[in-house]
Amino acid sequence: MTAFRFIGLGVSVAIAGGRTSLARVGLMAVGIGLGVALLIGSLTLDHATQARNAREAGRTPGPSYVLLKHQPDDSTAMAVGNTVFHGRLVQLISVRSRGLGPVPPGLQRLPARGELFVSPALARLIDTSSGPSLPQRFQARVRGSVSAEGLTRPGELFGYVGGGREVFPPGPVALYSGGWTQSSATPRSGTPIVLGLVLLAFLFPIVLLVLTATRLSTASREKRLAAIRLAGATSRQVRLLIAIEAGTVAVLGSLAGLLLFALVRETALRVPQFAEDWFPSDLWPNPVAALAVLAVIPLLIAMVALVGSRRIVVSPLGLVRKTRRTRRRGIVWLYITVFGIAILSLAAAQHEWVMRRPSPFPGLVVVPGAACVLIGVVGSAGWISWLTAGAVADRTRSVALQLGARRLQSDPGSANRVVAGVATLVILVGLGQAVVLSEKRDTQPTYVAPWVSTLPASAVIADDFSRHQAAELRSLGVVPGVQSVRLTSRPAEGGVTAGQPHEAVLSTDGTVATLERIRNHLSWHGYAFPPDHLLRESQQIGAYLTVLRVVETLAAILLLVTAASLLIATVDSVIERRRTLAMLGAIGARRSTVRSSILAQVAIPLAVALTLGVAAALALSALIFAIIGEPQLLPIKPLLQLGAMCGALTLGVTACALPWTRTSSRAELLHGE
pLDDT in tens, 205-225: 656 655 665 555 555 666 666
Range of lowest pLDDT (45-49, 245-249, 345-349, 410-414)? 410-414
How far CA 540 is from CA of 132, 262, 537, 546, 635, in Å, comes to 29, 36, 5, 11, 22
- Domain end (from 268, 288, 319): 319
CB atoms within 10 A of CB 257: 27
344 found inside a domain: no
Give me the pLDDT at residue 491, please: 79
528 found inside a domain: yes
1 found inside a domain: yes
Give me the pLDDT at residue 151, please: 93
pLDDT band at 157 (very low <50, low <70, confident <90, very high): very high
Number of domains composing the chain: 3
Give me the pLDDT at residue 61, please: 85
**Cβ(307)–Cβ(296) below 8 Å:** no
Rounded to whole angstroms, the Cα distance separating 127 from 251 reads 51
Q: Do 165 and 230 fall within a single domain? A: no
pLDDT for 318 beyond 60 = no
626 found inside a domain: no
The rounded mean pLDDT for the chain is: 76
pLDDT for 536 beyond 70 = no
**Cβ(554)–Cβ(198) below 8 Å:** yes
Q: Do 51 and 116 fall within a single domain? A: no
- Domain end (from 289, 319, 349): 319
141 found inside a domain: yes
How far CA 305 is from CA of 22, 35, 205, in Å, comes to 19, 18, 19
- Domain end (from 538, 566, 590): 538
Secondary structure of 535-591 in the HEC alphabet? HHHHCCCHHHHHHHHHHHHHHHHHHHHHHHHHHHHHHHHHHHCHHHHHHHHHCCCCH
CATH of the domain at 454: 3.30.70
pLDDT for 120 beyond 90 = yes
304 found inside a domain: yes
Give me the pLDDT at residue 554, please: 64
Rounded to whole angstroms, the Cα distance separating 385 from 609 reads 8
Instruction: Select, from the ranges 127-141, 630-644, 658-672, the one with the highest average predicted confidence (pLDDT).
Output: 127-141
Rounded to whole angstroms, the Cα distance separating 369 from 366 reads 5
Q: Do 216 and 152 fall within a single domain? A: no
How far CA 192 is from CA of 123, 305, 340, in Å, comes to 37, 35, 18
When pLDDT is averaged across residues 458-466 and rounded to a whole number, the result is 81
For residue 460, what are the domain limits?
A: 450-538
Percent of residues, the chain, with pLDDT higher than 70? 70
pLDDT for 195 beyond 80 = no
592 found inside a domain: no
Give me the pLDDT at residue 154, please: 92
The residues near 568 (Cβ < 8 Å, ≥ 6 apart) are 27, 31, 212, 213, 216
Q: Which residue has the higher pLDDT, 235 or 33?
A: 33
pTM (2 decimals)? Answer: 0.68
Q: Do 271 and 312 fall within a single domain? A: yes
Q: Do 158 and 244 fall within a single domain? A: no
Q: What is the pLDDT of residues 437-447, one digit of tens each?
A: 665 555 555 66
Give me the pLDDT at residue 322, please: 53
